[in-house]
Structure 1
Amino acid sequence: MSIQTNLFINGEYVPSSKGETLSIYNPNDDSLVTDKVQIASEADIDRAVDAAKAAFPAWRDLAGYKRAAIMNKFADLLLQNVDKLAKLESTAMGQPISVAKKFIMAPAMIWKYYAGYAGKVAGESFPPDEDGTYKIVQYEPLGVCAGICAWNGSHVLAAWKMGPAMATGNTFILKSSEKSPLALAAYGDLINEAGFPPGVINIVTGAGPVGALLASHMKIAKIAFTGSAFAGRAVMAAAAKSNLKHVSLELGGKSPALIFDDADLDNVVEHTSTSFLRNSGQICFASSRVLVQEGIASK
């Protein structure tokens, strides 16, 4: 199986300008998968931002139905390449192939869902005041946006972050997790095949320092982050200290399962177990705390 290890910037696969790399080990047997995954440098991030900024006006002005057609084609390509992408994801982070495929097929539908919004984000208008003044609200794309993914659901997180941004005419820089970058690195060929113009979507790799470069970049208008509360605070602080960019955070937690006296216990066992064992237990909303009403606790 071929593995793409380069950065994807301005429609092309390129190596890191500094030549720094990271290694990926298969969690199944700790074998080395590759030691050539390129780590984005500050210069690489600047190139990606500049490419996204240059691509923004044309993508913003492209008719909504044309953006939708490209997004739908990309979703179709995800489905057509589900076996390869699932294998890459499983190899990097240990996700069972059966789960990995579902974690690609569902995001494909997310892309299609947001494709339906392209060109349909309306504004608002209000009746004139007595002096004839009209109030009109117009919604416009922000420009260059960025997203930072966690390791445990790359395709879902990429779709959640990029789908709405693409539909509304923004351009994007996506950072994969340094723990599971292989499947998202393969997106570049699919992005080009779908018809996204160069620079509209860029894919970079690296650990916290690369995320910090994105969060603090003065030319990025919005950043979306999924990960720990600790790192989320750092993203928010960097965004505030730079250009006060928009921030959205999806942070991990410990969700409880509540089981009451009148519950169907067979149903309880099935669904509470899968709720915290799904995706090998690596999921931010896993119900890893089970709170049982005292009357049935002994059962």
Structure 2
Amino acid sequence: MTKPYAEVIGDPIAQSKSPKIHGFWLAKLGIEAQYRACHVRPEELAEYLSRRRGDAEWRGCNVTMPHKQAVMPLLDRIDPPADEIGAVNTVLAGGEGGVTGTNTDAAGFLEPLRRDLERTHYFRMARILGTGGAARAIVAALAGHGFTLVVAGRDPGKARALLDELAPEGEHHAIDLAHFADPTDFPFDDREGCLDLVVNASSLGMAGQPPLAFDWSHAPPGAIAYDIVTAPLDTPFLQGARAKGHRTIDGLSMLIGQAAVAFERFFGAAPPREHDGELRAILTQ
């Protein structure tokens, strides 16, 4: 007997922790369904969706690199906030509207910052490293919470275009990622009452990818370091931040947060977040 299922697609996909996350929640709730990983190469993406459209048990999929933008023209509808962000990380099956794309990355990214964002600050600044699909969600999310943004990419022109599209209001800045590689003696002003973030929104530092060159002299005192990479979980970027006394947020925070939103859409039940500690222990074994 077949079961309802959802999955995560990407290229590569073996490193994905999403099957363990969703599988853990399904087991805790006693839901008879499956969540799995499916390796889909770029040239296979259209065929993959064509096959899944005809599968009555398919509830949808999470979308990871490199498909977050490529999948969009293959869908019947793009819902908020994916339409604003310009990237889809969750595809939902069926319904009268057909196959729908949405984005849970922004909500997942903001989740561990919720208490910080509830406070009042006279200035908020985020240095965002990367210009890919995840960076798009992060830029849109932080712009909506009053941050002045500095987006750094290997192609500063792409960083500028991203800001012009997603955060046209405000005095935001686009620079070359290499700017952060060398030490600086910049004299930061008093940061009391400010909220500063340094976010690795790229795949740099991930297992099998080039390292992320970031010198922590570029981070203001009290800045929060946030790395979306999950393999390894404790990246050199986060290790360097802790060595300089910065608070850190690892990639599991965003991964679990965005998965929770998708899980409810796939399976019609809220995940049991009271077991997050147990889930983290499983994911870090």
State the TM bucket, normalised to the shorter chain: 0.3 to 0.5
Larger of the two Rg values belongs to structure:
1
- The answer to which structure has the higher helix fraction is 1
